[in-house]
Amino acid sequence: MASLVYPVCSRLPATILEGSGAAGAGAGREARRLLRGRPPFRRDTMFTIVFDLDGTLVDTAPDLIATLNLILGREGLPPVAYEDARKLIGGGARGMIEKALRADGRNVSSAELDRLFGAFIDHYAAHIADRSRPFPALEAALDRLAGDGRRLAVCTNKLEWLSVRLLDTLRLTRYFTARRACSGPADRLLCRSAHGDSGT
């Protein structure tokens, strides 16, 4: 049986998967065709759809930004406007903090950044889903994909234990049975597959 993997690193709104860039757009088109009941491949073809987590499956910006502004406030710094703060998301919490500080004209040592990062993670972990929610129509789309036998996976630069906590809290874990965790240069990556089969 053929096996294909599609990365999806774009938001999943009600229209189902609008791709980002050429590769993302291609994945989005194929997923939309599948969801309309016209699979693009033979019925004996299996493929895995790999989703990013933050900003693709779940809108996590509200809790990330709230935590960032709390940490800045503790340092006597003004909060970052919501829309401006959204632009800081995407390079991990440490990068988000560093960019916010630089925007305020403040450079900090690695040790100081480590301290702020630790404080960020402590607070964020306790408030990971206060306002974070799956995007509209997400679960219906995942139900349809899983029902068609597609393997679903998540790959993210979010710390693994935070990713698991977020998925558990929002009751999305059922779509993604643990497969393996991978290591990145900064944060651990989480890869979860619906069938739990071993892979390289």
pLDDT tens digit sequence for 24-48: 444 455 555 545 554 554 555 557 8
Which amino acids are annotated catalytic? 52
Q: Is the pLDDT of residue 126 over 90?
A: yes
Maximum distance among all Cα pairs of the chain, rounded to whole angstroms: 60
| pLDDT of 72 | 97
Q: Domain spanning 3-59+133-193: which CATH class is it, in words?
A: alpha beta
Asked if residue 84 has pLDDT above 70, the reply is yes
Task: Report the SS3 class of residue 22.
Answer: helix
Which residues are CB-neighbours of 40 under 8 A, at least 6 positions away? 30, 33, 34
Could you tell me which CATH class the domain 61-126 is placed in? mainly alpha
Quick one: pLDDT at residue 36? Answer: 55
Instruction: Provide CB contacts within 8 A for 131, sequence distance 6+.
Output: 62, 63, 66
Q: Which residues contact 87 (CB under 8 A, 6 or more apart)?
A: none
Residue 74, C-beta contacts closer than 8 angstroms, at least 6 positions apart: 119
- Which contiguous run of DSSP H or E holds residue 146? helix 138-147
Write down the mean pLDDT value for the chain.
Answer: 76
| pLDDT tens readout for residues 86-109 | 999 988 899 999 999 999 899 889
For residues 71 and 79, the answer to whether their CB atoms sit within 8 Å is no
**Per-residue pLDDT at 73 exceeds 70:** yes
> Which residue has better confidence, 181 or 75?
75
DSSP reduced 3-state for 6: strand
Given a cut of 60, whether residue 194 has pLDDT beyond it is no
On the question of pLDDT at 20 being above 60, the answer is no
- C-alpha distances in Å from residue 34, one per residue of 28, 173, 195: 10, 22, 19
- The 10s digit of each residue's pLDDT in 141-181 is 999 998 888 889 888 888 889 999 999 999 999 998 644 44
Residue 59: predicted pLDDT: 96
**CB neighbour list of residue 172: distance below 8 Å, 6 or more residues apart:** 57, 58, 134, 139, 142
As a whole number, mean pLDDT of residues 182-193 equals 43
Domain ranges in the chain? 3-59+133-193, 61-126
